[in-house]
Structure 1
Amino acid sequence: MSWEQFVEVLVGRERYALPILEVHEIIRMQEITELPNSSQDVIGVTNLRGQIIPVVSVRQRFRMPDIEPTKSTRIVVVNHEQGAVGMIVDGVSQVVTFDDIQSAPESGRGDNVQFLRGMARNGETLVSILNLGLLLQESFS
Structure 2
Amino acid sequence: MSTVRQEQFIEMAIGQEHYAIGIDRIREIIRLQNITAIPHSRPHVKGVIHLRGNIVPVISLRILLGLPEDKPTKAARIVIVKDGDESVGVIVDRVTQVAVYSCLHVPPDSGEDSQSYVQRIGQNDRHLAAILNMDKILNK
TM over 0.5: yes
1:67 to 63, 70, 78: 70
Tell whether the 8 Å contact from 1:62 to 1:111 is kept in structure 2 after alignment: no
Helix, strand or coil: the match of 2:10? Answer: strand
Tell whether the 8 Å contact from 1:2 to 1:99 is kept in structure 2 after alignment: no
Give runs of aligned pairs for residues 47-66 of structure 1, distance below 5 A. 47-66=50-69
Please list every run of 5 or more consecutive structure 2 residues that lacks an aligned counterpart in the other structure: none
Q: What residue is the counterpart of 1:117 in the other structure?
A: 119
Alignment identity in percent? Answer: 40
Please list every run of 5 or more consecutive structure 1 residues that lacks an aligned counterpart in the other structure: none
Give runs of aligned pairs for residues 73-88 of structure 1, distance below 5 A. 73-81=76-84, 83-88=86-91
Per-residue CA deviation, residues 59-86 of structure 1 (Å, 9 max, x unaligned), is: 1101111111111100000001461000
Tell whether the 8 Å contact from 2:103 to 2:124 is kept in structure 1 after alignment: no
Tell whether the 8 Å contact from 1:55 to 1:88 is kept in structure 2 after alignment: yes
Aligned residues: 137
1:89 to 88, 92, 110: 92
Instruction: Please state how far the C-alpha of 1:18 moved relative to its aligned partner.
Output: 0.3
Tell whether the 8 Å contact from 1:115 to 1:130 is kept in structure 2 after alignment: yes
TM-score by length of 2: 0.90
Helix, strand or coil: the match of 1:56? Answer: strand
Aligned-partner Cα distance in 2 for 1:101–1:135: 20
The structure whose Rg is larger is 2
TM-score by length of 1: 0.90
The alignment's C-alpha RMSD in Å is: 1.6
2:12 to 9, 18, 23: 9
Aligned-partner Cα distance in 2 for 1:114–1:135: 9
One-letter identity of the residue aligned with 1:128: A
